[in-house]
Chain A
């Protein structure tokens, strides 16, 4: 009890800082969608009446969903494989997964142009091998954006998932084996359910992070893949319609929080 109270006291300065420097300004900004320049619902009415904003929002969610799915499909087997590796190999692979964190997101994004561009390594190899006579368009479309976001966000899924998998008690798997379960049954009925909460958490994290991506779609999408952050950039820096931007941000936040709520329910059930 005393420890709990003390811990609370220590947290107070940070909490105050967060609320004053972060939460209050955000709330004020979001409130401007109904309060600026005077109390009004005009900005929300404009948002509701303009299908383009919802289409961009829908497009953003679609890309986030695809990115989360691809990250899951690549990330889960990767984390599972890492779990089975020996000490030194494991360290090496963890380093490789972490490596992208040490390189600027801008450099990583431009690197894809070198690799996947019309004159890039991949296209030249494909044409050299005679597999195609015209360069394949990897970039400047939804595929390019998905490749970029997946590359940036994969570690966010793999690392927590890997940590969670390490914590799964080996004896549970052994117990299942002694009871005669096949390897497949052990995985699907024991291991996978135990790793599911961390897996779901990783997927939601990737999904939410993709929603706010700006640099990657701007460069690898070639301006052909509209996402909500570039729309907000136009509304804030070009138009400038901050009130409308605040309304869209509020909507985005609400949807994200709702998704987070869904995730919590699933996670609670899984646990």
Chain B
């Protein structure tokens, strides 16, 4: 293989930085860094990244959870500086940017391996893809798409949906809007479609664990659920058809300690390694940002992973949701009061 001069320089400096980084970090006296993440199995799936980082640098990583947005705001406004990484959803990251709660990542210091473009955001490292998809009890009639999910006559049974306005996307798909014409969302039409189904939605869930539990308990027969929560659970079927693919980001709270942040950038490099992402995907069926990952995933479980089904899915439109947040939240509360 012949290297061009630029490639050689880039590789050389990457190597040099890689070798030098532990020394720099130690010199700055960082012994441990703290992060706030979503917790549960998702939090456990961070260990394959943390372990090689700690081995290489001697720096411990303390994980705390959960990660509500209000926590980030109070950390930053309270002048707290010892949390250097915070996990946020894609819409949350936009909100944080608008409120000036986060600072840009130092991508030159991260030097990541190959990543999907949307995961490489100036303000955040997209570390985990997850989907919200349609799941059902395996003994219920098999639905093909959201139109079936919204058709309670031919697919009788109770439903569970997330207690957030994101379900409006499914309502529009069910109402016949093609996937590529969804945005900007026709909010009126979406709520009208929601009105058709609302009496059959027994539970509007808040915690990701609720959906699989409700299905298993036979409280509901059909549910919108997080992919990682229903993958591999006995008695529950699901489809990635018309699912919504979204990305969880790691961001740096504004004003975080400089030395800690430098260590955090080094940690993020580990998050870009496809091998570590493979280990993480075995802990919970979500997938990391490496385009090489789908080919490496275990064949027998391939169907469980979000990025494998990229083509079938709808990418969460962060910009629309952020721009319309205030209006849509209010409409959503109004809708909830009409139940």
Contact = CB atoms under 8 A, between A and B. Distances in A.
Contacts of B217: 113, 117-119
A224 B329 contact: no
Given A56-B337, A224-B339, A119 B205 contact: no
B337 A226 contact: yes
Contact of B329 (A118, A137, A222, A234): A234
B337 A238 contact: no
A140 B204 CA distance: 9
Given A118-B217, A222-B202, A240 B337 contact: no
B70 interface: yes
B208 to A, nearest CB: 14
Contacts of B107: none
Contacts of B337: 52, 55-56, 59, 226
Interface in B202-230: 202-206, 217-219
A224 B95 contact: no
Contacts, number: 64
Nearest to A50: B330
A237 B73 CA distance: 9
A242 interface: yes
A240 B202 contact: no
B204 A222 contact: yes
Interface residues of A, number: 25
B333 A56 contact: yes
Given A50-B330, A52-B330, A117-B219, A239 B325 contact: yes
Given A119-B218, A237-B68, A237-B69, A223 B333 contact: no
Interface in A218-238: 218, 222-224, 226, 231, 234, 236-238
A4 to B, nearest CB: 40
Contacts of A137: 202
Contacts of B4: none
Contacts of B219: 113, 117-119, 139-140
Contacts of A234: 329, 333
Interface in A111-133: 113, 117-119
Nearest to B161: A223
Given A118-B217, A119-B217, A218-B206, A240 B336 contact: no
A46 to B, nearest CB: 10
Interface string B322-335: 00011001100110
A234 B336 CA distance: 13
Q: Which of A119, A222, A224, A242 has the most B CB atoms < 10 Å from its CB? A: A222
A240 B68 CA distance: 10
Contacts of A55: 337
A242 B73 CA distance: 10
A19 B60 CA distance: 38
A62 to B, nearest CB: 13
6 contacts: A119-B218, A140-B202, A222-B205, A236-B68, A236-B70, A239-B329
10 closest cross-chain pairs (CB), A and B: A223-B204, A222-B203, A237-B68, A223-B163, A237-B70, A236-B70, A52-B333, A224-B339, A237-B69, A140-B202
Given A139-B219, A226-B337, A237-B71, 4 more contacts: A118-B217, A237-B69, A237-B70, A240-B73
